[in-house]
Amino acid sequence: MYNSRLKKFQAQLENPILIKKKENLFYLTGRSFMHGYLLVKPTTRKDAEVNAERRGKKPSVVFFGDGLEKAEGLKSDRLKNIALYLDKAQCLLLEDEFTFAEFTYIKNKIKDSGFKIKVDHVRSPVNHLRQIKDADEIVNVKKSMQIVEAVFKLVRKEIKKPGMTEVQLAQFIQNSGLKMGANDLSFPAIVASGVNAAVPHHTPSNKRLKAGESIILDFGFKYKNYCSDFTRTVFLKKVQPKLEVAYNQVEKAYLGSMEYIEGSLLGQPQKAAFKGVKAGDVYQKAVDILAEKKLDRYFIHSLGHGTGLEIHELPNLSPNSKDILANGMVFSIEPGVYLPKLGGIRIEDLVYLKDGRVEKFIKVSTTLKDNIL
């Protein structure tokens, strides 16, 4: 799997590139690094291997750092002599994860070696490659979302305990996911109630949960390094009229966004289906639905984002986004409105595109009646 990813990546390259971002390193190699780099050179050779160096050949893929040189019995730091691994390349690309200090260090080492090789910073092409998930990645995200689903079932009971605070419930969410097999959190759990729910990414406090207030629950876990992301807004016993109107319209925007994606894809001729849907257009569809109840001005973040090895990846479902939603992508749909001095509503699920259809990883009700506890 990883070898095929590397070959696919190499086939797209015109210049060698040095990879630093840990998620990109894992995606290409299946290895986790604390402080490592990966030099990937363009090649069409079928037999290019990481260990080609030991056979006296110049490798097309070279690991740097993280103690690898010492482990392989090398006396020198490969990074200091990186120019020796660049063959006749005229340009070396560094993905944008590199700091200015690191960029300058590498540039100077190449210059000191006597090679005339241009060094450039670029937005990592691996990030774009990661947008389309393969079958193994889909399985891992699905498992991660299934952990979320199981935790949410527990939360629906735990939240009813008298005197429960935001921070206590957030801790319960996090501990429950780790007990169920998650290897980490996608991000710290968000529990926001009452006026706190008017802040999209509120940090849980000691505020007690009260009947009638909106309570936003936003959390996710990692399974085999793949993230999940999920939000529901719930109410204890009752819901205020203004929040009820807002909730129903947010749910309408949530459902309408997915219907718009499917309608756009399935409405295209078969051969044109690969063109996908403009992410910015999907965002605008959600805004238009919220505007029906004059709630669009309270929608203050993007409609969604890609998710995989990172919680926020490409594509971006934001205003003026030029990203194209296509088969194989995993992303969130998360419309929300935030009403000052009253509360907030957000509904979110991770979905993926398969054969022009929006597929959900889990099925957890979004209807208001099912979320009044």
76: left (phi over 0), alpha (psi -120 to 50) or beta: beta
Q: DSSP readout, 46-76?
A: TT--GGGGGGTSPPSEEEEETTHHHHTT-SS
8 A C-beta contact, residue 53 and residue 61: no
pLDDT, tens digit (0-9, with 9 covering 90-100), for 93-143: 999 988 898 889 888 888 887 788 898 989 999 999 999 999 999 999 999
What is the average pLDDT across 16-42? 87
- Amino acid making up residue 290: L
Calpha distance 106→328 (Å, rounded): 36
User: Residue ranges of the domains in the chain?
Assistant: 2-129, 135-371
8 A C-beta contact, residue 353 and residue 304: no
Residue 308 DSSP class:
S
Nearest to 227 by CA among 128, 127, 361: 361
Confidence of residue 84 (pLDDT cuts 50, 70, 90): confident
Tokens representing residue 236 in the block: 């204890």
* Enclosing H/E stretch for 235: strand 230-235
* Domain 135-371, CATH: 3.90.230.10
8 A C-beta contact, residue 196 and residue 166: yes
pLDDT, tens digit (0-9, with 9 covering 90-100), for 265-287: 665 544 444 567 999 999 999 99
CATH fold for the domain made of 2-129 = Creatine Amidinohydrolase; Chain A, domain 1 (3.40.350)
Confidence of residue 63 (pLDDT cuts 50, 70, 90): confident
pLDDT, tens digit (0-9, with 9 covering 90-100), for 191-227: 999 999 999 999 999 999 999 999 999 999 999 999 9
